[in-house]
């Protein structure tokens, strides 16, 4: 059975710029693929080609094993990072308007319940909070009951609680067998929601796999964090240190031994933090750039 969505050697070249240079991907039915990359990596252009909004310079996009055509847009939903909506319309009116653009739509009550919009239906969309607006935009992306939902940095600017509420909505979409393509700058979001991750840099996919697989393949140590003030002027021997703006990170394959060394050096461990490796660490290792740069 072919993947629901495939990219075959996608390239998009502009004068003097190779935005995407030979990207191939398969997205399986019901999975969430996360596309991660620093600014300028080519992920946005890749997604726009997968959505059918940008024509590749070469290569092709396949939907259920066949080249995408005009009917493809009926089978996908897109939640853009920035969406301009008509002024003065309520949430209910926006949903009805977008539903009128498609031949097949989800029943409005089902859509409202799925995105938890019951309390805001008759509110002008301009008066919604950030989290409420994102739920409405997700409902608009789902209005045609798409097979694939594209989410472009959907939780940027949301507070932590609103972000977690949105994650629950996405998990519910996946539970219905929908396929999700997600771009995000939040490592926790990618780790929680994505079954598969493609990390891009300079127009290429440089790493691919599940979050757990990628971390296991690249790391076998943990990170100990201390405030810089605790470490400055101390002789820590051969410990592997990385200085950040406000802290020092110590990479350790043996946490117990490292803690003993720190105590022997006379450091206070009152503010010591110990954590496993994260996608942020992987990003820095592969690209030299922070995930949210």
Write out pLDDT tens, residues 171-198: 999 999 999 999 998 889 999 999 999 9
Per-residue model confidence (pLDDT) at position 293: 45
Are 83 and 31 in contact by the 8 Å Cβ rule? The answer is: no
In a domain, 39, yes or no: yes
Residues 182 and 265 in one domain: no
Identify the pLDDT of residue 1: 63
Coil, strand or helix: which one is 152? strand
- What pLDDT is stored for residue 27 in this prediction? 96
More reliable by pLDDT, 242 or 211: 211
Per the structure, the count of domains in the chain is 2
| Cα diameter, the chain | 71
The CB-based long-range contact list for 113-120 (8 Å cut-off, 24+ gap) reads 114/139, 114/142, 114/169, 114/172, 114/173, 115/139, 115/142, 115/169, 116/165, 116/169, 117/91, 120/91
Residue 202 phi, psi dihedral angles, 5° rounding: 55, 40
- Between CA 206 and CA 217 the distance in angstroms is 14
- Whether residue 131 lies inside any domain: the answer is yes
On the question of pLDDT at 122 being above 70, the answer is: yes
Q: How far is CA 134 from CA 9, 57, 142, 256, in A?
A: 33, 33, 12, 44
Task: Return the SS3 of 14.
Answer: strand
Residue 290: per-residue pLDDT: 62
Q: Smallest Cα–Cα separation from 190: which of 173, 212, 207, 172?
A: 212
Query: pTM for this one?
Result: 0.90
Structural domain range at position 225: 220-276
Domain assignment of residue 103, yes or no: yes
220: Cβ–Cβ under 8 A, 6 or more apart, which residues?
Answer: 253
pLDDT of 2 > 80? The answer is no
pLDDT, tens only, 3-42? 999 999 999 999 999 999 999 999 999 999 999 988 889 9
- Is 180 found in the same domain as 242? no
Please state, in angstroms and rounded to a whole number, the distance separating the CA atoms of residues 45 and 111.
Answer: 29
Do residues 93 and 175 both lie within one domain? Answer: yes
Residue 170 has pLDDT above 50, yes or no: yes
Residue 222 confidence (pLDDT): 95
The model's pLDDT over 217-253, given as tens digits with 9 standing for 90+, comes to 999 999 999 999 888 878 888 888 888 888 999 999 9
Q: What is the pLDDT of residue 82?
A: 79
């Amino acid at each position: 059975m072919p993947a629901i969505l495939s990219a075959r050697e996608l390239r998009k070249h502009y004068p003097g710029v190779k935005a995407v240079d030979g990207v191939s991907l398969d997205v399986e039915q019901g999975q969430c693929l996360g596309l991660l990359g620093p600014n300028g990596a080519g992920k946005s252009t890749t997604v726009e080609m997968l959505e059918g909004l940008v024509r590749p310079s070469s290569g092709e996009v396949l939907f259920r094993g066949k080249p995408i055509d005009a009917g493809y847009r009926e089978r996908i939903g897109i939640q853009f990072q920035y969406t301009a909506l008509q002024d003065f319309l309520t949430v209910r009116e926006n949903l009805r308007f977008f539903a009128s653009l498609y031949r097949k739509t989800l029943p409005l009550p089902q859509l409202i319940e799925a995105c938890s919009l019951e309390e805001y239906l008759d509110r002008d969309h301009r008066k919604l909070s950030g989290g409420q607006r994102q739920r409405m935009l997700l409902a608009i992306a789902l209005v045609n009951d798409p097979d694939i939902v594209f989410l472009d940095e959907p939780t940027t600017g949301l507070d932590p609680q609103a972000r977690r509420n949105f994650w629950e909505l996405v998990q519910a979409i996946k539970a219905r067998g929908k396929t999700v393509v997600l771009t995000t700058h939040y490592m926790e979001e990618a780790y929680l929601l994505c079954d598969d991750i493609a990390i891009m840099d300079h127009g290429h996919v440089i790493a691919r796999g599940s979050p757990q697989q990628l971390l296991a393949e690249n790391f076998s140590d943990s990170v100990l964090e201390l405030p810089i003030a605790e470490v400055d002027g101390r002789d820590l021997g051969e410990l592997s240190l990385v200085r950040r703006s406000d802290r020092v990170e110590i990479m350790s394959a043996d946490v117990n031994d490292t803690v003993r060394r720190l105590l022997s050096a006379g450091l206070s461990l009152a503010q010591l933090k110990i954590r496993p490796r994260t996608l942020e660490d992987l990003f820095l290792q592969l690209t030299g750039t922070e995930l949210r740069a």
